Structure 1
């Protein structure tokens, strides 16, 4: 009896020393579809998130990495997040827009004039409204990380004006905004899952694709494409997401740590991505691609202007107007 009392007292004393929530050991498996490259924007978001959690949560939360589609393509991962079979993921905005159409706002061509302009909108009231809509469907937004501006790569010709897109088969995400964007410029939009794209370009099934520079370099697309045109036609934000079911299994303290880690990771990832951008242009050129700048985008804007009216009802008229006013 005396021994039992001592043991109980020792346990009680230890519980008073260890912070609340330290008993709970949690594992978060985070997936993304691209490589685990030091320049890849998806990988950067995952690693910065893990690093930030390690600082605040210690061993209470362990983040495990699943790059290269190990948890499925983005659409599959997003469904997994909804139903709790995937804990966390970094997913392209355009795929999220298939679940919550309001996110199509971010895919509208030439909406954001600069990355800082995008941060202003996404970190403000517009981003909050988008996050609430997605949370209602079982997925929590931890951050709008930097994907970078998207550019056109192809094997036919450099793109300097909308007419240069005509007749060229571009792989686009399985998203109606991107399909309509390329069709508006009389290109041939070919919706395709990311995992099939490299081989499709290599074999000539498609002529090219459109991605941010970091994705182009990280996946060595210079090996299968000749021309890189810095069209900057769309700003890509990659969403750092956690399943609401996985989030609700965490202690209140862990939940706050996850939210704070998401913000810290987003800020760090944006800084690193911006630093990488200029260097990545050189990487593409040094590996044999012909790179051209677009100095005047007015003709492109005119070509895609009808998309704003078409997608206003899906995005939400009030939300679109708020974003347009904030993006000025």
Structure 2
């Protein structure tokens, strides 16, 4: 009887040991599985922002040694900017680029960057975005379940339409123009006598083609890469808003990473941001030339018109200084000067 009990005890101990080994092996196998990081934007694949995401993926996949696998999705495949932003918050999308205009819907201070004619040039924009003001705003993102890194370059926005040449403030009046889903943008165009129609970017081309709207406003590189010139005849280089798109990562995904993986992502983003800014600057300049060559009527505002427009837009500054915070807006205006 004792021998039988002893044998049963040995069998039991061996079984426990084998189960334990099996669990350890399974855990080891699971820990060796790459963490998938889906990154996305609404941009066409050949745009600097998209090329930057591909370069980011290349660097991270190489440096991570198999622990991370970055997958890139372009051209609104995972949704418009609002859907991407929500996906990053929920963790269903691990990272991507979302414009300051849309991110400003959850971080009011960021919407201040959408104020018209705020930045006189890109050098000024980069100085502010990379400086204390821009970095402090990124620190507000974790409370919204997002980790913010740096601001990638989208360029200055220009007005296009299919109705008439626009060289003056008066010529804008009455145009029905698609705008971003931003309160600042909508108020800006209303103040200028334009009929703003907010809609997601992935709906823009069909809206222009079907004459739902007369025009739109975007950087030259977006107009060219999305073939907007096929459904728009006139382009005015208004440069009314400087657009940037912060690179963001889901906080839940970020918290799951090792310190080494976080370091790889941080260094890769910084390297690619400088690369993307340089590339986008070149693309933007070339696209204005290409659009004119394609037959689009590309013109500047008449002398003195920009000053008239800026003066007309002062109520917009007052309106959003009240909602964003007067002290913050005054600090921002001092920084850009």
> TM-score when scaled to structure 1?
0.89
The alpha-carbon distance between structure 1 residues 281 and 211, as it changes in their structure 2 partners (threshold 3 A), is same
Q: C-alpha deviations, 1:26-71, integer Å up to 9, x for none?
A: 221011112211xx14313312322332453343322111112221
Q: Is the 8 A contact 2:145 2:250 kept in 1?
A: yes
- The match for 2:160 is 153
Aligned to 1:29: 38
Q: What is aligned with 1:19? A: none
Equivalent pair of 2:57/2:72 in contact (CA under 8 Å):
no
Query: Any idea what SS the aligned residue of 1:177 has?
Result: helix
Q: Which moved more, 1:81-90 or 1:106-115?
A: 81-90
Contact 2:43 2:49 in 1 (8 A): yes
* Aligned counterpart in structure 2 of residue 298 of structure 1, from 302, 307, 322: 307
Instruction: Indicate how the Cα distance of structure 1 residues 247 and 180 shifts in structure 2: closer, same or farther if over 3 A, else same.
Output: same
Deviation track 1:160-187 (CA, whole Å, cap 9, x = no partner) reads 2221210000000111111111111101
Structure 2 residue 213 is matched with structure 1 residue 206: yes
Matched residue, 2:251 = 244
Which structure has more RCO (C-alpha within 8 Å, separation ≥ 6)?
1
For 1:230 and 1:270, how far apart are their aligned partners in 2? 20
Picking from 287, 300, 310, the partner of 2:294 is 287
Aligned residue for 2:246, secondary structure, equals strand
Aligned-residue offset at 1:309: 1.0
List alignment gaps of at least 5 residues for structure 2: 1-30
Matching of residues 73-222 of structure 1 within 5 Å: 73-222=80-229
Q: Could you report, residue by residue, the CA deviation over 1:187-213 in whole angstroms, capped at 9, with x for unpaired residues?
A: 100111111110111111100100011
CA distance in 2, matches of 1:52, 1:126: 29
For these two proteins, the number of residue pairs brought into alignment is 307
Structure 2 CA distance for aligned equivalents of residues 289 and 68 of structure 1:
24
* Distance (whole Å) between structure 1 residues aligned to residue 155 and residue 65 of structure 2: 31
CA RMSD of superposed structures (Å): 1.8
2:38 and 2:229 map into 1 onto residues whose CA distance is 31
- Bigger radius of gyration: 2
Is the partner of 1:59 in helix, strand or coil?
coil
Correspondence 1:68 to 2:75:
yes
- Supply the distance in 2 between the matched residues of 1:44 and 1:315 (Cα, whole angstroms): 34
